[in-house]
A and B are shown apart, each in its own frame.
Chain A
Amino acid sequence: MDEKIIFAGFGGQGIMSMGLIMSYAGMMDGKNVSWLPSYGPEMRGGTANCHVTISDEPVGSPIINEATIVVAMNRPSLERFEKDLVAGGILLINSSLIDIGPQRSDIEVYRIPANDIANQMGNLKIANSIMVGALMSLKNIVSEDAVVNAFKKVFEGKEKLIPINIQAYNRGKESINSQFAVK
């Protein structure tokens, strides 16, 4: 296995946490992982992204030039990272905030109205966990146990947020199963 995932959105959408959850889960499953954030002015309200590699082999460059998965949480992210997907790669679009489609036709595209679902659940901040759930239902990158433990790790010190995020994660999984994804 060699998954190269780019999570992207704007500051405050929990982009870094999405990457961390997958990285922790990968590590707990005994995989080689790396997590590389964008840093600098970008983190202060602008766009944010992180590159996550989960692999059976030691990780070479943590920079992802050929992503197997891109999770785009807002429109600039889609526009910026769509081109980095390999042919046949998976693109997850937060359709609540992105009203355009991808340019490419050689990739698998799934639209998840993450912000709408999050709003329904009464907490906009869990849109990221919804997307992680959607991603996991598409591809079993890491084990279910590891994801749950990763949530506990990422929310260390903010334990009261764990249940709602795991709930969101499960809703995200369902969102894919009640398929409105288009190819």
Chain B
Amino acid sequence: MAKVLMKGNEALAEAAIQAGCRHYFGYPITPQNEVTAYMAKRMPKVGGVFLQAESEVSAINMVYGAGGAGARVLITSSSPGISLMQEGISYIAGAEIPCVIANVMRGGPGLGGIQPSQSDYFQSTKGGGHGDYKLIVLAPSTIQEMADLVQQAFDIADKYRNPVMILGDGMLGQMMEPVDFDNIKKGENHIEEKTWATTGMGTRKKKNIINSLELDPQMLEKHNIELFKKYEKASKEEVRYEMTNCEDAEIILVAYGTIARVAKNVIELAKRENINVGLIRPISLWPFPVEPFEKTVNYVKRYLSIEMSMGQMVEDVKLAVNGRKPVYFYGRAGGMVPEPAAILEEIRKISGGAK
């Protein structure tokens, strides 16, 4: 299949279908409406289910039911809608139900705006809902990567029986780029049988229960420990990142998603001024990639975390750097996307007037 020009939201939806997802539950919210529209059109054609729920609260619980019943399920929304889903996400993580959740972020808090933002980093990577749990969070920065990661997300979700979040933003949702779907494994071939799912007992001897309740503290702690063993495995096996121009960099930018694209422009601009700037682009936000910091911390002078927020990922950067080198932050919020020139100016500033 040749490349096709697609919006990020559409690529997300198509990639999910090609990964074997046949159940999608959603609720309209800008800037992710293309996903619901695409699914409404495509799902009936592939024998799948598109259901517009009465709320995000209901939609995420439909995902709980469908995922628990063994299906590959996708749900998408944008920031305020994802907030509404947090209860359900906590239950899904607790009951160990695989599913893929995509957040096409917009500015907040509250109703906020509809322009792209990255202000849900904490919510996505640090919990969001109640209780000790982790989402595996993947952040694409191109439409092709959106398609690739969505496919991987379904496999990862199944592998760990855990929800996986795709963290995009309004710009990635709305923009178009060429996408090649040829590399995507066709879902039907590699979905393993889910012997734990509630499918009706049939001839099975033991009934299956999907549940997150455990009133005995000893047993609940055991469950917590088991979950964290799983997260520990994921934190070893699911780390994804990209390093650009880091070899001789004096300053390394740390950026994910949309703003990592801007950062690549900054690298070129800085070259013209003989400033050697590198980029660490976390692709998995949880597990946060520590490795690229270990590789660079000895020789780089400083790190600059750039985000479309008031400063969230910078905390993970600081943890990774652990005081060994200075970590700076530059961000724009509310739907503003920093311009390369502004970031370059910030680089000049923190370099203390260095050329």
Contacts and interface: CB of A to CB of B under 8 A. Distances in A.
- Give yes or no for direct A-B contact (beta carbon below 8 Å): yes
Interface of A: 20, 23-24, 27, 32-37, 39-40, 58-63, 65, 153
B316 interface: no
Nearest to B115: A40
Contacts of A60: 261-265, 268, 340
Contact of B261 (A27, A37, A62): A62
Given A24-B5, A61-B262, A39 B170 contact: yes
A62 B5 contact: no
Given A23-B5, A24-B5, A63 B337 contact: yes
B337 A61 contact: yes
25 contacts: A20-B5, A23-B5, A23-B176, A33-B176, A34-B176, A35-B5, A35-B175, A35-B176, A35-B177, A36-B171, A36-B175, A39-B170, A40-B30, A58-B264, A60-B261, A60-B265, A60-B268, A60-B340, A61-B264, A61-B337, A62-B175, A62-B177, A62-B261, A63-B171, A63-B337
A58 B261 CA distance: 10
A23 B171 CA distance: 17
A65 B265 CA distance: 11
A36 B176 CA distance: 6
B80 to A, nearest CB: 15
Contacts of A65: 339-341
Contacts of A35: 5, 175-177
Contacts of B174: 36-37, 39
Contacts of B264: 58, 60-61
A22 to B, nearest CB: 11
A27 B341 contact: no
Nearest to A51: B175
Contacts of B136: none
Interface in B242-275: 258, 261-265, 268
Q: Which 8 A-B pairs have the closest CB atoms?
A: A35-B176, A60-B265, A60-B264, A61-B262, A36-B175, A27-B178, A40-B114, A61-B261
A23 B31 CA distance: 21
Contacts of B265: 60-61
Contacts of B325: none
A59 B5 contact: no
Interface residues of B, number: 24
Contact of B114 (A24, A32, A39, A63): A39
B349 interface: no
Contacts of B175: 34-37, 62
B3 interface: yes
A24 B179 CA distance: 12
Interface string B166-194: 00001100111110000000000000000
Nearest to B262: A61
Interface string B114-145: 11000000000000000000000000000000
Contact of B177 (A33, A39, A63, A153): A33
Residue from the set B3, B115, B176, B178 with the largest chain A CB neighbour count within 10 Å? B176
A62 B176 CA distance: 9
Given A34-B177, A62-B261, A153-B5, 6 more contacts: A34-B176, A60-B261, A60-B262, A61-B337, A61-B340, A62-B171
Contact of A59 (B177, B263, B268): B177
Nearest to A31: B178
A11 B273 CA distance: 41
Nearest to B3: A27
B261 A39 contact: no
Contacts of A39: 30-31, 114, 170, 174
